[in-house]
């Protein structure tokens, strides 16, 4: 299991996998951390902007660490970000993850993994996932956190897939706030071409510039 290789304060620690085989996983022994996830919090509480930026920066740091360790997460979304005390968040659920080195081989032998709203267009076309596929998912996640709205809510999933791939369709952005630094970051992350998206290292640098020091 890929998560066993990761040890980081912003990633849920997996200690042991019991009954692991190529077909399934029996039990996963992991760190007990957090009382809810970011998706649930966004639905029921209006968060201060600086808290949103703090959560996003921590998630970006966790994802950048995964990439340095040679792991693609491939299911980045607010539901997979748990919240611990003291405004600490932790990336979790590595069930869709894969080693970067094996991405091409793994892609040819399995269907699209992840959650539709956050899947990069190149993956919807059947291409090999890369670090930039995670960057795309982070961009959609960032939009959701900033605006506290669910991406493509109430839209037909098949129509969304077509429009994302063929028409460069993305979640709506309010014209009144479209020129803020935060909006520039998530728009860079969700660009259609993977090579035009920033690395997660660059995303973290951009977030650090706009996140207040507490």
Report the catalytic residues: 75
Residues β-bridged to residue 11: 91
Give the list of residues 6+ apart from residue 80 with CB closer than 8 angstroms, or none: 37, 73, 91, 92, 93
Q: Which residue carries 């970011």 as its tokens? A: 38
Give pairs for 106-115: CB < 8 Å, separation 24+. Answer: 113/74, 113/75, 114/74, 114/75, 115/75, 115/77, 115/79
Give the list of residues 6+ apart from residue 195 with CB closer than 8 angstroms, or none: 132
Name the 3-class secondary structure at 140.
Answer: helix
């Amino acid at each position: 299991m890929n998560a066993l290789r990761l040890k980081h304060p912003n990633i849920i620690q997996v200690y042991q996998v019991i009954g692991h085989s190529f077909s399934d996983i029996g039990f996963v022994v992991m760190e007990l951390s957090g009382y809810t996830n970011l998706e649930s919090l966004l639905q029921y509480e209006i968060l201060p902007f600086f808290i949103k930026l703090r959560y996003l920066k921590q998630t970006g740091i966790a994802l950048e660490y995964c990439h340095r360790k040679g792991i693609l997460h491939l299911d980045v979304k607010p539901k997979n970000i748990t919240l611990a005390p003291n405004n600490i968040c932790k990336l979790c659920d590595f069930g869709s993850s894969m080693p970067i080195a094996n991405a091409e081989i793994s892609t040819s032998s399995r269907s699209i993994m992840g959650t539709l709203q956050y899947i990069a267009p190149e993956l919807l076309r059947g291409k090999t996932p890369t670090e930039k596929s995670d960057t795309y998912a982070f961009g959609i996640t960032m939009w959701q956190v900033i605006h506290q709205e669910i991406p493509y809510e109430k839209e037909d999933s098949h129509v969304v897939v077509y429009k994302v791939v063929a028409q460069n369709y993305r979640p709506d952005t309010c014209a009144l706030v479209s020129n803020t630094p935060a909006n520039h970051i998530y728009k860079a992350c969700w660009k259609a071409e993977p090579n035009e998206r920033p690395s997660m290292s660059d995303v973290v640098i951009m977030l650090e510039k706009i996140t207040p020091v507490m």
